[in-house]
Amino acid sequence: MKKYKVGYTVGVFDLFHVGHLNLLERCKAMCDVLIVGVCDDAYVRDVKHKEPVIPEDERKRIVEALKCVDQAYIVDFKVTDDKMLAYERFHFDVLFSGDDWKGSERYLRTEQQFKPYGVAIEYLPYTKGISTSDLKMKMK
């Protein structure tokens, strides 16, 4: 049996690459049901200050086609930014996040918010040597 029943992670997943796949496979290895939030195009433009290469509907379709993903949803800034809103919407028992967030003020606050609900946060490493930004640079 897996460690968690329902897991949740969120990302842009633009120019889908092996780092994205590694992350999602690691998440799925730890839960029975993996729900993935795909950041909407407005989030990418307004928060990341980048133009998405692949439109949100297509990014969602790519993510939900993976055998390691059980459900995928397009999520807006509010749900992406406020993990309690994500919890209220998806009812997960573990949030998966990149290990670069561990110990940050934002995630220390999220850990405290999740405690009364018994929700864990698992911090996972990024795949070294690949990123969407790197791919964009190589294409230029």
For the stretch 71-81, pLDDT in tens is 999 999 999 99
At 100 the pLDDT is 85
At 123 the pLDDT is 95
Is there a contact between 43 and 73 (Cβ–Cβ < 8 Å)? no
Q: Which residues of the chain have pLDDT under 70?
A: 1, 128-140
Q: What is the 3-state secondary structure (H, E, C) of the chain?
A: CCCEEEEEEEECCCCCCHHHHHHHHHHHHCEEEEEEEEECHHHHHHCCCCCCCCCHHHHHHHHHCCCCCCEEEEECHHHHHCHHHHHHHHCCCEEEEEHHHCCCHHHHHHHHHHHHHCCEEEEECCCCCCCHHHHHHHHC
At 134 the pLDDT is 63
At 60 the pLDDT is 98
For the stretch 102-111, pLDDT in tens is 999 999 999 9
Radius of gyration of the chain (CA): 15
pTM (two decimals)? 0.91
Domain 4-139, what fold? Rossmann fold (3.40.50)
At 30 the pLDDT is 97
At 130 the pLDDT is 63
